[in-house]
Amino acid sequence: MLHRSPVLWIIVAVLGGCAHAIPQDPGQPDFSWELVRDQLPATSARALVVAYTAGRTRHVIEGGDNSLVRMPVYAFVLEHPTEGVVLVDTGYGRRTASNPDDYPGRQASKLLRLQMEPDAAVADRLSEIQRSISDVRHMVVTHLHSDHVGGVEDFPRAALWVHRDEWEAADEPGPLGTKPDLRPFGAHRHVKTVDFTGTAPYGPFEGHVDLFSDGSLVLLPTPGHTVGHVSVLVNLPGQSLLILGDCAWIDRHWQEGLPKGRLVRELLEADWGRNMKTLWRIRHWAGKHPELLVISGHEAMNLERLKAWPEAYE
């Protein structure tokens, strides 16, 4: 009898067993959302593509085919009038631009079909908006996967904000025995964890953290893709941007209520059923508030829909 690795046994068990039913729309939650925009600080937001990955459509979304879908890796650069430059996710950083075989590693780079230009990291693009590494005072990460935190090490003086559950789980074995590669955090990290326990609901979400206590940057609990995944609502005087991270890779996830492909959701997501509940909440919120610009984590159409760097939302 051929020996099978533990990983292979898990794959066989999952794919050979009964598929879990995809949760259906539970109906619109009872929520309200009002925002007094003329009282918000004059914050701006820019979206930057730092790299590209690609995957089979059947892995990206339930019912997909075998075609390849290109998936941009984004970072978001905010300028706050009193808190300085704030990054929401960093994408990959200078280490990856220099040598992706080092980080995230040869196997991961090959699996992700990773492509990154030599000067594409946020740290190398800030000069295009007359800012520097020292101007970055805060980094908010949606979760600890490499394509969202690879650039953290390029900003050693900035505070790093992450969900407490996400940070605590980083030292525990993850799906398939994996765990986040925290090399970009280094010994100099200034980690500040957020906890939604006891916080008030916000829109359709059960809690929230108003990071600067002025309504401009609101962290929302969206667990499922990882145990401590968060999404980030950026409230500007003219518009609101909901940065989803990876609770939705592409728009169809939340627009149609479809999960990622079975292999991904069963083997690589912490609790995909819980993530589905988040997708339905986002769908209802966006439907009720067309002024809300929902930004899926790796949606290719964002390249056409979002303002091109360095143009800013204000």
Q: Is residue 122 part of a domain?
A: yes
Q: Per the domain annotation, does 28 fall within a domain?
A: no
97 is a domain residue = yes
Looking up tokens 């009898």 gives 1
Contact 253, 71 (CB under 8 A): no
150 assigned to some structural domain: yes
Q: pLDDT over 90 for what percent of the chain?
A: 81
Here the tokens at position 59 are: 């892995």
Q: Is 23:258 a contact under the CB 8 Å cutoff?
A: no
- CATH code, domain carrying 77: 3.60.15.10
Provide the pLDDT for residue 267.
Answer: 87
Strand segments (E) across 147-287: 159-163, 190-194, 209-210, 217-221, 230-235, 240-243
Residue 289 amino acid letter: H
Range of weakest confidence among 6-10, 201-205, 309-313? 6-10
* Residue 155 resides in a domain: yes
Query: Is residue 311 in some structural domain?
Result: no
* 49-73: pLDDT as tens digits: 999 999 999 999 999 999 999 999 9
| Domain presence at residue 29 | no
Residue 53's φ and ψ, nearest 5 degrees, are: -125, 180
Residue 15 lies in a domain: no
Q: pLDDT tens for residues 184-199?
A: 887 667 899 999 999 9
Q: Is 169 helix (H, G, I), strand (E, B) or coil?
A: helix
Instruction: Confirm if 199 and 209 have CB atoms less than 8 A apart.
Output: yes
Encode pLDDT of 230-241 as tens digits. 999 999 999 999
Q: In terms of Cα–Cα distance, which of 185, 229, 218, 227 is closest to 292?
A: 218
Looking up tokens 């794919």 gives 15
Domain count for the chain: 1
Query: Distances from the Cα of 44 to the Cαs of 40, 95, 234, 238, 297, in angstroms?
Result: 11, 28, 9, 10, 19
Q: For all residues of the chain together, what is the average pLDDT? A: 90
For the entire predicted model, the pTM comes to 0.92
Range of the domain at 141: 41-305
CB 179 within 8 A of CB 173: yes
